[in-house]
């Protein structure tokens, strides 16, 4: 028995040496033989294969670095005070995002660069798992990139503390969620008014009753969410975002849970917002009909930009009648 143990130790040591010489790759069988490896002895990230899929495993030093980047504000350096160039309101420069589960790293964004001009409608387009919602969350200061710069309205977001991120969202971003997020104990008017209260500049607050009139929702003004259809609730959630009157409005699959007719109404509402208030609108979608209303479509695939398409938007509203 002692002889077998000694031989097993010798075999494991040989395989460990093989790993250190084999750069960043470890196959699945070797990993099993080493009983998940002593990660504390690893000096750099390496990969294993699980059913043919490469999985990145971080050494402890790299893991600490990634966690710090994901969870904490970046230390001030020469990039901290970068501002937007020209008439851009969003500039994303080589951002990467890696999610962690123990020492296992999943890279969701793999080096994304693009810009958005003030007043544009932009669609982040891609299949599930392409990274589009993660990208939207980073632009909206709901999440931090692992690396890269994200400059929105002249602020480089990775350098903000959690408290300043919250303040940034309050002052700069309006959100439209797929699941509405209306307060069930408030009627439509009061729900929309909560959005208005988030606008600290009273001069920028909008007339809520007029908003309901402009978007043909007067009959829903005093109804509770339980008394409205899904489409009506979504449109009220859009009014709540408008009432805040932020410079940027972000929408995550705003038509995903709606029928075709109601979805078109929502898209018309978004074009009205853009036309009347000059709001920059960023939409996440995998619907080609949604992509048609944009000035720019950013196609994402497996965490990379596949194509950036500039186009003439398809108007769903009569532009002349809006003024």
Tokens of 209: 């009753």
**Do residues 107 and 97 lie in contact, with contact meaning Cβ atoms separated by under 8 Å?**
yes
The tens digit of pLDDT for each residue in 50-63 reads 666 678 889 999 99
CA dihedral angle for residue 36, residue 40, residue 41, residue 47, rounded to 10 degrees: 50
203 and 116 fall within a common domain: yes
| Residue 65 within a domain | no
| Sign of the CA dihedral with 228 first, then 261, 211, and 140 last | positive
- Quick one: 142 and 21 in the same domain? no
The answer to whether residues 160 and 292 belong to one domain is yes
Q: How confident is the model at residue 46 (pLDDT cuts 50, 70, 90)?
A: confident
> What number is the average pLDDT over the span 100-106?
89
Are 185 and 259 in contact by the 8 Å Cβ rule? The answer is no
% of the chain residues with pLDDT over 70: 86
| The two structure tokens encoding residue 95 | 């951002």
69 in a structural domain: no
* Domain extent for 24: 2-57
Together in a domain, 83 and 52: no
For the chain, first and last CA: distance in Å? Answer: 89
Helix (H) or strand (E) holding 260: helix 260-277
249, pLDDT greater than 60? yes
Average pLDDT over residues 316-322: 76
Beta bridge partners of 283: 123, 251
Q: Which residues pair with 152 in a beta bridge?
A: 90, 155
Please check whether residues 168 and 264 belong to one and the same domain: yes
In a 3-state reduction of DSSP, which class is residue 99? strand
Do the domain assignments include residue 187?
Answer: yes
66 is a domain residue: no
Co-location of 51 and 84 in the same domain: no
Q: Is residue 134 part of a domain?
A: yes
19 shares its domain with 128: no
**Same domain flag for 123 and 82:** yes
Tell me what pLDDT residue 39 has. Answer: 73
70 domain residue, yes or no: no
Q: Is 82 part of a structural domain of the chain?
A: yes
Q: What is the CATH number of the domain that holds 309?
A: 3.40.50.300
Query: Domain check: are 148 and 44 in the same one?
Result: no
> Domain count of the chain?
2
Q: Are residues 129 and 97 in the same domain?
A: yes
For residue 71, is it within any domain? Answer: no
For the ranges 106-110, 134-138, 317-321, the lowest mean pLDDT is seen at: 317-321
Note the pLDDT tens digit of each residue in 172-192. Answer: 999 988 788 899 999 999 999
- Alpha-carbon distance values, 31 to 21, 35, 215, 304 (Å): 15, 6, 60, 29
| Pairwise CA distance, residues 156 & 76, whole Å | 11
For residues 50 and 192, membership in a common domain is answered with no
Neighbouring C-alpha atoms within 13 Å toward the C-beta of 276: 19
The more confidently predicted of residues 200 and 8 is: 200
Could you tell me which residue, 186 or 31, shows the higher pLDDT?
A: 186
Asked if residue 297 and residue 264 are part of one domain, the reply reads yes
Average pLDDT over residues 220-247: 91
């Amino acid at each position: 028995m002692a002889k077998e143990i000694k031989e097993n130790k010798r075999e494991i040591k040989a395989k460990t040496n093989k790993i250190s010489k084999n750069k960043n790759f470890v196959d699945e069988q070797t990993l099993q033989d080493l009983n998940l490896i002593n990660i504390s002895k690893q000096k750099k990230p390496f990969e294993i294969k699980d059913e043919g899929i490469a999985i990145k495993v971080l050494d402890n030093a790299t893991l600490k670095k990634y966690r710090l980047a994901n969870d904490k504000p970046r230390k001030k350096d020469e990039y901290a005070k970068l501002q937007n160039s020209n008439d851009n309101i969003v500039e994303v420069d080589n951002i990467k995002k890696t999610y962690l589960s123990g020492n296992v790293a999943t890279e969701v964004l793999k080096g994304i660069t693009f810009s958005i001009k003030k007043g544009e409608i932009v669609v982040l387009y891609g299949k599930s798992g392409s990274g589009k919602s993660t990208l939207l969350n980073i632009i909206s200061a709901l999440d931090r990139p692992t690396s890269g710069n994200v400059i929105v309205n002249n602020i480089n977001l990775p350098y903000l503390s959690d408290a300043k991120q919250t303040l940034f969202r309050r002052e700069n971003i309006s959100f439209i969620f797929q699941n509405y997020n209306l307060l069930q104990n408030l009627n439509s008017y009061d729900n929309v008014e909560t959005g208005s209260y988030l606008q600290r500049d009273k001069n920028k607050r909008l007339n809520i009753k007029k908003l309901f009139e402009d978007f043909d929702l007067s009959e829903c003004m005093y109804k509770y969410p339980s008394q409205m259809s899904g489409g009506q609730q979504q449109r009220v959630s859009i009014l709540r975002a408008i009432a805040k009157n932020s410079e940027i409005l972000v929408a995550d699959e705003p038509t995903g849970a709606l029928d075709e007719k109601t979805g078109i109404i929502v898209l018309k509402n978004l074009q009205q917002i853009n036309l009347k208030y000059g709001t920059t609108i960023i939409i996440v979608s995998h619907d080609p009909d949604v992509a048609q209303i944009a000035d720019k479509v950013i196609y994402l695939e497996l965490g990379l930009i596949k194509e950036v398409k500039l186009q003439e938007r398809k108007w769903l509203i009569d532009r002349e009648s809006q003024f």
